[in-house]
Structure 1
Amino acid sequence: MQTRARDLGVAIGTLPTGALNAITDVPGVLVGQTTLADGDLQTGVTAIVPAGVTGGLPAAVAVGNGYGKLVGSTQLEELGLLETPIVLTGTLSVFRAADALVTYLLERDPQAISLNPVVGETNDGYLSDIRRRPITELHVLDALTSASADLPEEGCVGAGTGTCALGFKAGIGTASRRIGAADRPPHGTVGVLVQSNFSGTLQVLGTKIPAPPREPDGNSCLIVVATDLPLDARQLGRVARRAIFALGLIGSDYAPGSGDYAIAFATKHQQPMPDRDLRPVFQATLEAVEEALLNSLVAARTTTGYKGRTQYAVPHELITAARDRAQPPSSPTA
């Protein structure tokens, strides 16, 4: 049973979560993962598969720092449409993963003559022999075809198997927030999944938790935001930028060698809500991203990989100590 931030008494923000507190709380959004964890290989694939995506879904991408390889980003930005599942993996495997995603899509549409696969990456080369480019078509197809609406596994799994963040072992994390009620629009869910692999100093509820002195370089963060709220591509661009902002809430230093990207998509085409109603959507995004990032760290475990290198997980007692410092003692009753 994986440990999450809320298991340690850390609840980010004030909005309620979805039933799973995960991106899969957004109806129609599935997640599948393939993990390679064997000595020098600590890598994998994470696939986000929205229902109806091959018909095109409103979407946008935001770039915090463009030192990365996000295949398909320019057409996504130009057209405001996501036309394929989103696949995440390690840096040098991103191109093989894109080819495998094309194979997956061609098998499902015998008439297709043009496809825009969207594949992101972070560099897991500290713990994994990245030059071997171990991800094969089979690994990608397995992640895509096994995708489900269950709570995704977090930490050292899928594309997060070999990643590190803020001086600790990190990986995949997810969270969600609900907005409004059926009789009080806007109402719906914002779900987030992150592949965290960036530098800085971990901050929990405003309290800094410095890592041990030896720290591998941070190498990017990929954030995927899904929602069933009525947003168009322009508004989703605003949401994606807030997702990048949220990296600072947990301590990112936005290093120049980091590729920080957010992709935001809506699960259906609808008449967009007025911009004046976006405040709770922005709040939901900030809260869910911050919690997903923290979950990626809390769920991770100490890992030894390539060349015997070890990256230690954040001790949970440091998280609970930060929680206690952030919660002042109650005043005595009269």
Structure 2
Amino acid sequence: MTARPASEATPSGKPRARALGIPFAGTPGALNAITDLPGLAVGYETLIHGDGALRTGHGPVRTGVTAILPRGRDGVGNPCAAGMVSLNGNGEMTGTAWIEETGSLDLPILITNTHSVGACHTGAIEWVVRHYPKLAEAWLLPVVGETWDGYLNDINGAHVKPAHALRAIDAARPGAIEEGSVGGGTGMNCYAFKGGCGTASRVVPYGPHRYTVGAFVQANFGSRHELTIAGVPVGRELADDNPMETRRQAAPAGAGSVIAIVGTDAPLLPAQCKALARRVGMGLARTGTTGSHFSGDLFLAFSTGNEGALKSRFSEGEPAKDEFDQLRFVPWGRMDPFYAAVAHAIEEAVVNALVANATMIGRDGHRTPALPHDRLVALLRKRGVIS
């Protein structure tokens, strides 16, 4: 049996959106993942154990930690130009005041559940202290983003420890990555189907150059009736089997949040990274969401171009006469293809998070169904989207 290419299947063999024939705009990279960026590494720590009724502190546990290292393990402390945007602020992403101030990012990015931000923040600092003690002599402001997994997970049980954050960072590797219910996305839901982690990438030709725009989402947002795939409002036709939005103790429809990370190897200014982050909302809208008050929609974008610039650590002595940073960047008037790449990659990353998934039962018997592949394909075929 011939193995599917990375664009169609995760390393464990779970199907991705393209395996169902779903069409998307733009040209993906070889892996169709944020790890198409040279050197970038992703790691997961997945926590699944326990069943039955909720007993805070005892489970059930359906959560975890995701780590993204923009320049890989060896590039920590080497800044990337960066910018952050909040579409809706009912969420948290630490370290962003410093990104706003300096336009740079030089530490691992962690994503987890809402009540585990502190543990992951502590774990990120411990990891840097262990592996980059010189860097830790100054100050450390890690980026930790979150979405709420309390429908399926014992979110108040403090199950995520600093050690789990360390293990997620240590597990970070380049190459194809898993999607669905892994890492920080383990207990997440999207459009009232099982959601979680999703990724995609796009190649942007630029004269003789080819740059990559990669996207990663922790998808935990949207109401069932909104779901749109390949331009078809499929959520209306898949409205049955929706326990998350019909049971009384569930969160309001559309609640949850989404963290999106966008990376590119194109040389960009910090303000251009922020402009990329702003286009994440365009990609999310292509999947149907209009943005809920109860959803924290926080987006971070970075560029690995201009390596060695934007350092803002303690200086020593007087500046040399030629001590200046120099930034090479894509002209603002040439940014449109990169904006399009963000919207297209984010759209596919969300659909990948839905497709590469399975039904999950968590706390108090709460159940989230998986997106039904056969019914989805039938709907898209009926509309002539796929053959």
State if a TM-score over 0.5 links the two structures: yes
Per-residue CA distance 1:204-263 (angstroms, 9 max, x = gap): 111112243542542100000010011111001110000122111101131101100110
Q: 1:326, CA displacement in angstroms?
A: 4.3
1:48 to 2:59 alignment: no
Aligned to 2:214: 191
Amino acid at match of 1:327: G
Aligned twin of 1:68: 91
Find the aligned partners of 1:59 and 1:53 in 2 and give their Cα distance. 14
Question: Does residue 9 in structure 1 map to residue 21 in structure 2?
Answer: yes
Give the superposition deviation at 1:141: 1.0
Give 1:21's aligned residue.
Answer: 32
Choose the corresponding residue for 2:173, options 148, 153, 157. Answer: 148
Unaligned 5+ residue runs, structure 2? 1-12, 51-59, 307-326
Pairwise CA RMSD of aligned residues? 1.6
1:202 maps to amino acid: L
Identify which of 271, 283, 286 aligns with 1:246.
283
Letter in 2 for 1:32: G
Q: Is the Cα contact below 8 Å between 1:34 and 1:158 reproduced in 2?
A: yes
Counterpart of 1:98 in structure 2 is 121
Instruction: Give the secondary-structure state (helix, strand or coil) at the position aligned to 1:188.
Output: strand
Q: Which runs of 5+ in 1 are unaligned?
A: none
Structure number with higher strand proportion? 1
The structure 1 residue matched to 2:48, chosen from 24, 27, 37, is 37
In the alignment, the residues of structure 2 paired with residue 235 and residue 172 of structure 1 have an alpha-carbon distance, to the nearest angstrom, of 25
Whether contact under 8 Å (2:380, 2:386) holds in the other structure is no
Sequence identity percentage: 39
8 A contact 2:23–2:386 mirrored in 1: no
Alignment of 1:297-312 (within 5 A): 297-312=354-369
Q: Which amino acid is 2:35 matched to?
A: T
Instruction: Map Cα deviations across residues 193-214 of structure 1 (whole Å, 9 max, x no partner).
Output: 1000012321011111224354
Residue of 84, 90, 96 corresponding to 2:107: 84
Give the aligned partner of residue 172 of structure 1: 197
| Matches for 1:99-118 after TM superposition, within 5 Å | 99-111=122-134, 112-118=137-143
State the 1:185 CA deviation.
4.7
Partner of 1:124: 149
* 1:123-170 deviations in Å (ceiling 9; x for gaps): 000000000021112211111011111211000111110000111110
| 1:131-280 → structure 2 map (5 Å cutoff) | 131-180=156-205, 184-185=207-208, 187-200=210-223, 201-210=226-235, 211-212=239-240, 213-214=242-243, 215=245, 216-217=250-251, 218-269=255-306, 270-280=327-337
- The whole-number CA distance in structure 2 between the counterparts of 1:254 and 1:307 is 28
Q: Measure, in 2, the Cα distance between the counterparts of 1:63 and 1:245.
A: 13
Question: Residue 74 of structure 1 aligns to a residue in which SS?
Answer: helix
How many residue pairs were aligned?
Answer: 327
Q: CA–CA distance in 2 between the matches of 1:238 and 1:73?
A: 15
- Per the alignment, do residues 207 and 109 of structure 1 end up closer, same or farther by CA in structure 2, a change over 3 Å counting? same
The one-letter amino acid paired with 1:50 is P
1:28–1:267 Cα contact (<8 Å) kept:
no
Over 3 Å counting, the alpha-carbon distance change for 1:329 and 1:203 in structure 2 is closer
**Matches of 1:22 and 1:307, distance apart in 2:** 35
Counterparts in 2 of 1:271 and 1:174: CA distance versus 1, 3 Å:
same
1:48-73 CA-partner distances (Å, limit 9, x unpaired)? 01222412110000100011111111
Segment of structure 1 superposing worse, 215-224 or 234-243 = 215-224
Equivalent residues of 2:265, 2:305 under 8 A apart:
yes
The two structures have a TM-score, normalised by structure 1, of 0.94
Partners of 1:295 and 1:19 in 2: how far apart?
16
Q: 1:176-196 deviations in whole A, cap 9, x for unaligned?
A: 000116xx2553000111000
1:116 is paired with a residue whose SS is: coil
Indicate if the aligned counterparts of 1:33 and 1:45 stay in contact, CA closer than 8 A: yes
CA distance in 2, matches of 1:240, 1:209: 27
Letter in 1 for 2:227: L
SS at match of 1:286: helix
Q: Is the 8 A contact 2:21 2:386 kept in 1?
A: no
2:357–2:370 Cα contact (<8 Å) kept: yes
Question: Whole-Å Cα distance in 1 between the matches of residues 303 and 331 of structure 2?
Answer: 15
After TM superposition, the score normalised by the length of structure 2 is 0.82
How far residue 318 of structure 1 moved from its aligned partner, in angstroms, is: 2.8
d(CA) in 2 for partners of 1:33 and 1:318?
A: 31
**Structure 1 residues 89 and 276: alpha-carbon distance in aligned structure 2, compared to 1, 3 A threshold:** same
